[in-house]
Amino acid sequence: MQKGSENQATSDESAALHELIRREIESRGPITFARFMELALYHPDHGYYERALDQIGRRGDYYTSVSVGSVFGKLLAVDFSARLEKLNSAGFDLVECGAHDGTLAADILTATKTARPDLYAKLRYVIIEPSPKRKAAQRMNVSEHLDRVSWCQAIDELGNGSVHGVVFANELLDSFPLHRLRWSRQQRQWHEDGVGLDGGRFVWVDMGGFGGTPRTGGPDEAAEADSDWRAICATAQALAEVLPDGFRLDYCPGAARWWRKAATALAKGALITIDYGLTREELFSPHRQNGTARAYCRHTVDDELLEMPGEKDLTAHVDFSALIEAGEAQGLVTERMVDQATYIMRILQHSGELLNSALALTQRDRAALLTLAHPSGLGRAFRVLSQVHGG
């Protein structure tokens, strides 16, 4: 058993969640960090994303591109409008996954209605949202556009080849539950660090060798999961002579699984994600030997992942290589992967006139643009991956 940190329950929700997790461990034994993260973030009563919707912005725990102002939604609206126009379809779909409180959806819809009313009139805006609480907040924020908006609980509900347009996610995949793996140089294999108990404390425990995730789907999904895991293992074996003992990897098979489902839903158009992330090679860089999983609370970041469950946001960098491979396996073509600053500059170069005229950028918008694109801030922190399907 490895050393852990005492958990200070700072609210009734955190105390209740702490007790719930403690009882599960007492009855079942140590749990994976993926399970711990699932409960800490998504428990329907006490999870971080369920207890409140004020985590973002100055009074919350962190900033996002959306919290900077409506200009981010205007930029996306311009990019998406250009993509939709090329489809030459009778109707267009914009599918947003992980819409939080609906602010970004409202910004995109308002900007599209202003700049391209012809496209807006043919637009179907679908929000993928499993949480009734967040759906209620979204409905309020998009109240002026309810005739354009509908909801689904999961990406699976869209149906294969049903989307003609854009499926996109902004800061969604970095919060998918993950497995914390640790490299044993002597055994040349991965061990999984799970979560156990030491008195009333949550502590890291060695759960033994990790050989891939449980197969809960059909044979196709199992084969895809095996493919993801083989790529990880191949990289580790290639670096076996230099990979330090105890090197940590935060492995999230759910992100690639979700990407495959989104790719399957796309008949024609683009699949786009904007998120913290790295290529597989970058994830194996020596300076990342402690992994990328982090906890955010009140604008501070730390690696005390087991403290205050339900009070902290838990995230890890997305493996963009896994997403690229998953999409290409479904027939998508990788358009580009760039940092957010480059993505924004491309939009300004191709559609700057539309932004300035139809959308009438304010001084506040222009200041926000600097924040979104600045290399020392959000401009380099986020990457944008786009893959396309020609239909």
Same domain? 23 vs 167? no
Same domain? 30 vs 149? no
For 142, counting Cβ atoms within 10 Å of its Cβ (0-12 exposed, 13-18 middle, 19+ buried), the class is buried
- Counting other chains too, the contacts that 45-48 makes at CB distance below 8 Å and 24 or more residues apart are 45/13, 45/16, 46/13, 46/14, 46/16, 46/17, 46/20, 46/310, 47/17, 47/310, 48/310, 48/311, 48/312, 48/313, 48/314
Report yes or no on 166 lying in a domain: yes
Report yes or no on 57 lying in a domain: no
Distance in angstroms (rounded) separating the CA atoms of residues 193 and 209: 10
Q: What SS3 class is residue 59?
A: coil
Structural domain of 23: 12-51+179-251+277-316
CA distances to 210, 246, 248 from 193, in Å? 9, 11, 10
Q: What is the reported pLDDT for 66?
A: 87
Q: What is the reported pLDDT for 230?
A: 83
Tokens of 370: 């600097």
DSSP letters, 134-171, are HHHHHHHHTGGGTTTEEEESSGGGG-TT-EEEEEEEES
Distance in angstroms (rounded) separating the CA atoms of residues 183 and 239: 11
Report yes or no on 99 lying in a domain: yes
Beta-bridge partners for 301: 296
Number of domains in the chain: 2
Distance in angstroms (rounded) separating the CA atoms of residues 342 and 356: 19
Q: How many residues does the chain have?
A: 391
Same domain? 27 vs 156? no
Same domain? 197 vs 339? no
Walk along the chain (391 residues) and give the pLDDT tens digit of each residue. 343 443 444 477 688 999 999 999 999 999 999 999 999 999 999 999 987 655 554 455 556 788 788 999 999 999 999 999 999 888 999 999 999 999 999 999 999 999 999 999 999 999 999 999 999 999 999 999 999 999 999 999 999 999 999 999 999 999 999 999 999 999 999 999 999 999 889 999 999 998 775 544 444 544 555 677 888 888 888 888 889 999 999 999 999 999 999 999 999 999 999 999 999 999 999 999 999 999 998 767 888 999 999 999 999 999 999 999 999 999 999 999 999 999 999 999 888 777 777 777 888 888 888 889 988 878 888 999 999 998 6
Same domain? 138 vs 96? yes
CATH of the domain at 241: 3.40.50.12710
Same domain? 236 vs 203? yes
